[in-house]
Structure 1
Amino acid sequence: MPRFKHRIVQALSERKAQGLYRQRTRLDRRQQMIECHGESLVNFSSNDYLGLAQAPELIKAWQQGLSLYGTGSGASPLVTGFHSAHHELEVQLADWLGYDRALLFSSGFSANQALLFTLLEKDDVLIQDKLNHASLMEAGLLSPATMRRFPHNDTTALYRSLLRCHHQHPEAASMVVTEGVFSMDGDLSPLAEMKSLCARYNSWLVVDDAHGCGVLGEQGRGSCDQAGIKADILVVTFGKAFGLQGAAVLCSEETADYLVQFARHFIYSTAMPPAQAYALSKACNLIQQGGWRREKLQELSELLAERVEPEVELVATTTPIKPLIIGNSDKAVSASLALKERGIWVSAIRPPTVPANSARLRITLTAAHSRSDIEKLAIGINEVIHD
């Protein structure tokens, strides 16, 4: 057998034996219902926290954008791909989130990688939360900088890392990277304390707020706004609360110019369609004006906590992400399948996405859910966990 084929077959066999084999499921979607093999299920695995992905206003805005700009951008931003809709969205985001500039990317993965690959050099020190997203971890490992990781949300350990860096590498540039909301646990980063430590040791704080922007803070400005701090660099993504796709890096004028000159993910990628940027401007308006959506999320969170029985170990969070830790991967998959039989879609999340022995049901609420949806979910969870 050829070596590549042997390697592939062996790896797939091992993954199946470990109970970690992943498969795509073809779905059709309408509001918070999804169609799977002819069955209708209530979707509790979406990151569409504000319910904007199916909002009529947003659909109409994208249609208007298509009429104005056509389908694709046609080139990278530095050739002919930067259109008026992109510029207007960047200005809108920068003004709303309080930064000099915003730069658009086609995904959060590319935005994070562009940021770390471009800014970090050989003698720099990168300090990351151990539970940061794979895009951040991979970029850190492949960058020329020295990467250190600290236990999740442990500011004492972060302090020790910064102190060590200060003493051992007094001339080194250091960067601390964290997420505003951690996607698998739904918990918040201690941003105020982290910002204070970074300021003390002249380190930059970078916050990936993919799961916080739109949901937390005044007018949905996100985790940093809620914590009362301003990160040196902020990354927001559009595939969650914005209901669309893409990302933006918020930063100073000089940093933006530096990224335009040197960030390969920005320079050599086709720009997002201008019609999409046009729709994102509408999404940005809906987020700012949609306080009722955030209020409804809070109401539904409280209802779920009330209806789930006390012995069910549903993790209490202040975000729409509600993990139910099961531990064993096979049991998590079985629980997910049992909920599907009850008309509820909740994905089982297994290693390596989460640490070993922490497989879980990742339950997410959205403003498009109804109270009856939450009642159905709670009944299903209570029954499945007791089985």
Structure 2
Amino acid sequence: MASIGLASFLRRNLAELKEKGLYNTIEPLEGPNGPIIRIVGRDLINLSSNNYLGLATDSRLVEAAVEATRTFGAGSGAVRTINGTLALHAELEEKLAAFKHTEAAVAYQSGFNCNMAAISAVMGAGDAILSDELNHASIIDGCRLTKATVIRYGHSDMDDLRAKAQEARASGKYDKIMVITDGVFSMDGDIAKLPDIVRIAEEFDLITYVDDAHGSGVLGEGAGTVKHFGLSDRIDFQIGTLSKAVGVVGGYVAGSRDLIDWLKVRSRPFLFSTALPPGAVASCIAAIDILRTGKELQERLWANAAYLQQGLRRLGFSTGVTETPITPCIIGGEEETQRFSARLYEEGVYAKAIVFPTVPRGTGRIRNMPTAAHTTEMLDRALAVYEKVGRELKLIG
């Protein structure tokens, strides 16, 4: 078989992605990532941010970052285990543990890093991982690092999970067995069946692991999906990001003190990557303080989400099975979805198309992310654009 060079490989495959409507164009923002964003000199209603509570542009977080940067510097200067751990890191981790109702917590550079770090630090060859088939890519990659046997179960199919847990335990082949799930699934907005998962885990002695990236700050009075179900003392690993509802950057693992101590000596991103910078850490502390002292932002987020979802459904669009502010507008084909997103953009609404391989072929959607910072007027303008473009493309009557 004839070999091909890198340049040929890249040209051919990029052209194929563009032809199939799978190529993603990245447009830099010319200002903050708020409810209105500016791109190429145009203001657009922003429905694609994970900035659930509007904290990314909150003046209290900005001031905290400025003050910490002046006091501690622009960077942390080292990995956590040498001398990159600042008093700020310790304060953040104490507040995260209290926020998540666990004994301890450890912060990482990103939510993706958390799953790279935590799964591989505990699971290995001779173990098994039961993983929901719609789990986030970072969970999939974290599992690949372990050399453990990965057994996928049907999405939120508790009969399938139970059967596979029973089979794995009865085989006698595995030392440890872990069940991993997203708390909130980011493409459809549905919530994991954590009470059922915990019951199955306790029956078959499974380690429980919940990635609550889209639940923290949103569900459970802000504390997340685990708190939403009252299961804080029955989940071994709680994973979260500091870049979505918290509004900054980074991630964390919360759990028992022994678990966190183990991650600090065995998880590779903690050991080999420079610590989060002081400004980011201070902003995260400010955000956690806000989340723990009031529910106004969460209430506004949920009210805006209900308003947008009801409006889209009234127009005749499908929002799928969402139970959260994540609001998919299901279009279908990849090219049709990309065309719909492009027309929204032209009409002043920034709402990105989500297509294969992020979601299965034929299930392309516009994933709308209403936030606490949107006004009713903004959402009304967005709905008017949806109606105009939907009728134009004959997606609604």
TM-score bracket, shorter-length normalisation: over 0.9
1:75 maps to 78
Partner of 1:281: 285
Corresponding position of 1:268 = 272
Partner of 1:53: 56
Q: Which residue of 2 aligns with 1:312?
A: 317
How far is the alpha carbon of 1:290 from its aligned partner?
A: 3.3
What secondary structure sits across from 2:168 in the alignment?
Answer: helix
Deviates more, 1:314-323 or 1:96-105: 314-323
Matched residue, 2:96:
93
* Aligned-pair CA distance for 1:171: 5.1
Q: How is 1:150-299 mapped onto 2 (pairs within 5 angstroms)?
A: 150-169=153-172, 172-218=175-221, 220-230=222-232, 231-299=235-303
What CA distance in whole angstroms lies between the structure 1 residues aligned with 2:209 and 2:310?
36
Shift of 1:76: 0.1
2:395 equivalent in structure 1 = none
How far apart are residue 152 of structure 1 and its match? 1.1
Instruction: Give the whole-Å Cα distance in 2 for the aligned partners of 1:381 and 1:267.
Output: 48
CA distance, structure 1, for counterparts of residue 294 and residue 255 of structure 2:
25
Q: In structure 2, the residue corresponding to 1:367 is in which secondary structure?
A: coil
Instruction: Tell me, in whole angstroms, the C-alpha distance in 1 between the residues paired with 2:88 and 2:20.
Output: 48
Listed as ranges, the gaps of 5+ residues in structure 2 are 393-397
Map Cα deviations across residues 323-368 of structure 1 (whole Å, 9 max, x no partner). Answer: 0111101111111111112211100011111111111100001000
What TM-score does the superposition give when structure 1 sets the normalisation length?
Answer: 0.96
Whole-Å separation in 1 of the counterparts to 2:201 and 2:51: 32
The change in CA–CA distance for 1:343 and 1:232 in structure 2 (over 3 A counts) is: same
Q: Percent identity?
A: 33
TM-aligned CA deviation for residue 125 of structure 1: 0.4
How far off its partner does 1:174 sit? 0.4
How many aligned residue pairs are there? 386
Deviating more after overlay: 311-320 vs 257-266: 311-320
* Equivalent residue letter for 1:261: V
Within the alignment, does 1:14 sit opposite 2:16 as a pair?
Answer: yes
SS of 1:356 mapped into structure 2: coil
> Is the contact made by 1:20 and 1:351 (CA closer than 8 Å) also made in structure 2?
yes
SS in 2 for 1:236: strand
Change (3 A) 1:305 1:13: closer
Deviations 1:176-197 (A, max 9, x none): 1111111111110011110111
Query: Could you tell me which residue of structure 2 aligns to residue 116 of structure 1?
Result: 119
Aligned to 1:386: 391
Give distance in 2, aligned partners of 1:88 and 1:141. Answer: 33
CA contact (8 A) 1:61 1:279 kept: yes
**2:110 aligned to 107, 110, 132, which one?**
107
**Mapped pair 1:35 → 2:38:** yes
Distance 2:305 2:253 in 1: 30
- Counterpart position of 2:150: 147
Q: CA deviation at 1:262?
A: 1.4
SS at match of 1:29: coil
Q: Is the 8 A contact 1:316 1:322 kept in 2?
A: no
Once the 2 structures are TM-superposed, how far is the Cα of residue 169 of structure 1 from its aligned partner? 2.4
Note the alpha carbon deviations across 1:70-114, whole angstroms, 9 max, x for none: 110000000110010000110111122111211110011111011
Tell me whether 242-251 or 258-267 shows the greater mean CA deviation: 258-267
Q: Is the 8 A contact 2:20 2:335 kept in 1?
A: no
Q: Which amino acid aligns with 1:271?
A: A
**Distance in 1 of aligned mates of 2:391 and 2:111:** 38
Q: Partner of 2:219: helix, strand, or coil?
A: coil
In 2: Cα distance, 1:29 partner to 1:275 partner: 19
TM-score (ref. length: structure 2): 0.94
**372-381 vs 25-34, which deviates more?**
25-34
What are the Cα deviations for residues 152-206 of structure 1, in whole angstroms up to 9, with x where unaligned?
Answer: 1111111111011111126521001111111111110011110111111110110
1:116-138, Cα deviation, whole Å (9 max, x unpaired): 12111111000111111111112
**2:280 counterpart SS class:** helix
Counterpart of 1:26 (choices 25, 28, 39) is 28
Spell out structure 1 runs of 4+ moving beyond 6 A: none
DSSP 3-state at the match of 1:112: helix
> Tell me, which stretches of 5 or more residues in structure 1 are unaligned?
none
| Secondary structure, aligned partner of 1:325 | strand
Q: CA deviation at 1:310?
A: 4.9
SS in 1 for 2:83: coil
1:294 is matched by which residue type in structure 2? Q
Question: How far apart in 1 are the matches of 2:281 and 2:5?
Answer: 45
**For each residue in 1:259-281, what CA deviation from the matched residue of structure 2 results, as whole angstroms up to 9, or x when unmatched?**
12111111000000123212211
